Amino acid sequence: MKLFKMLSAALFACTAVSVSAQTLGPAPAPLPQKVTLNVGYVKVGHLSPLMMIEDELKKMNVEVKRSDFVRYADARTALLSNSIDISAVGPGDLAIAASQGSKNLIGLTGVASSPKYLVVRKDVKINDWKDIAGKKIAIAPGSAVWFQFAMTLVEKNIPYNSFTPVNVQGGGTAFLQAMQRGDIDAMVLWEPFETQAVSEGMAYFAKNLEYSQSKAVGAELGLIAASGQAMANKREAIKRFLWAYLNAEQQLAKDPAAFADVYSKYTGLPMNTTKASVEVIKLGGVLTKDQVQRLAEAAYKQGVINKDVAKEAAALYDDSLVIELKK
């Protein structure tokens, strides 16, 4: 029986040495005429480099028009409808687009990775995978982190029904509120809310329950993607966007204090939370075409998507512009 068939693929969003380890080349020359890029800003910490790109892009004759999103799924919908040109989405969104028969979502590069631990309420004991039996664990059904967790259970032969999943809709604040009320024993969510729960003393990281390294999903936290239409009509502007983003990413990766500061300004979170959060986030994408294919294969086998589109999803990942910028 497919364990997760009941979950809607529409909710599947919000995760080897790659080209990201190479040195970024010089900035591309300014465009001969101004081009406007409609950019999706998803307010999560590992996308903080977006705060630093607009001045650099102005030098290259590219103007940014912002659209803010809470979830990767919303950004994916906007890209597929050509409402925006470029944004971060979830690593699994290429599989969703391919399963819908769309080629209008082009993955360009990953953004970051981090270890993922189950976040456990302070008065609950979970030290081993067997300890999740009977526990109430909050999940965002269909999210990227949920799929990381679910596939880790599959690979460890742990029955998904060994715990009680508590579906939480909305942003990370809803998870924190559920834990404060005592409605849940643990939660599977994302930064900065993981670190916030721990720093505020309501929870701890169960570090024996790490779930970011499943073969099917991997550790990638996000994906910079463009619409197919934008790639056809604004390719040179997108190339310059990528340079500005990667340049900012490299700067912040070398300076944790600056990363925490930009992170705080980008998300509106206090510095004590962002300082702790940057300690676990490693900026720089780890996604590869092979990983995209494995993720799509797993999504089909588990009933998250209804078609085997592994090859089609992999074909939607095109990091040639990043490779060009890093030659």
Q: Go through 135-169 and write b for each residue having 16 or more CB atoms within 10 A of its CB, e for each that does not.
A: bbbbbbbbbbbbbbbbbbbbeeebeeeebebbebe
Q: Residue 12 pLDDT more than 50?
A: no
| Same domain as 93, residue 18 | yes
pLDDT value at residue 96: 94
| Same domain as 312, residue 176 | no
Residue 163 lies in domain: 117-210
**127 CB-near residues (< 8 Å, 6+ apart):** 206, 208
- Name the domain count of the chain: 2
| Same domain as 124, residue 272 | no
User: Domain for residue 236, yes or no?
Assistant: yes
Structure-block tokens of residue 238? 């997108």
User: Domain for residue 4, yes or no?
Assistant: no
Of 149, 184, 210, the one marking the end of a domain is: 210
Of 184, 210, 236, the one marking the end of a domain is: 210
31-54 mean pLDDT: 97
Residue pointed to by tokens 């010089």? 26
CATH number at residue 123: 3.40.190.10
| Same domain as 19, residue 165 | no
Q: Residue 293 pLDDT more than 60?
A: yes
pLDDT value at residue 180: 95
User: Domain for residue 1, yes or no?
Assistant: no
Q: Residue 169 pLDDT more than 50?
A: yes
51/71 Cα distance (integer angstroms)? 18
pLDDT value at residue 107: 98
46-59 mean pLDDT: 97
| Same domain as 239, residue 154 | no
| Same domain as 19, residue 109 | yes
pLDDT digits (tens, 9 = 90+) for 74-120: 999 999 999 999 999 999 999 999 999 999 999 999 999 999 999 99
State how far Cα 313 lies from the chain centre.
17
Respond yes or no on whether the N-terminal peptide bond of residue 192 is cis (omega within 30° of 0): yes
Of 168, 192, 210, the one marking the end of a domain is: 210
| Same domain as 43, residue 29 | yes
User: Domain for residue 252, yes or no?
Assistant: yes
pLDDT digits (tens, 9 = 90+) for 209-238: 999 989 999 999 999 999 999 999 999 999
Q: Residue 41 pLDDT more than 90?
A: yes
| Same domain as 131, residue 162 | yes
| Same domain as 319, residue 235 | yes
127-154 mean pLDDT: 93
Percent of the chain with pLDDT over 70: 93
Q: What is the largest CA-CA distance in the chain?
A: 62
148-155 mean pLDDT: 94
pLDDT value at residue 1: 39
Which of the four pLDDT bands, split at 50, 70 and 90, describes residue 9? very low
Q: Residue 19 pLDDT more than 70?
A: no
| Same domain as 225, residue 202 | no
| Same domain as 121, residue 179 | yes
| Same domain as 245, residue 301 | yes
User: Domain for residue 28, yes or no?
Assistant: yes
19/109 Cα distance (integer angstroms)? 9
User: Domain for residue 52, yes or no?
Assistant: yes
pLDDT value at residue 15: 37
- Average pLDDT over the chain reads 91
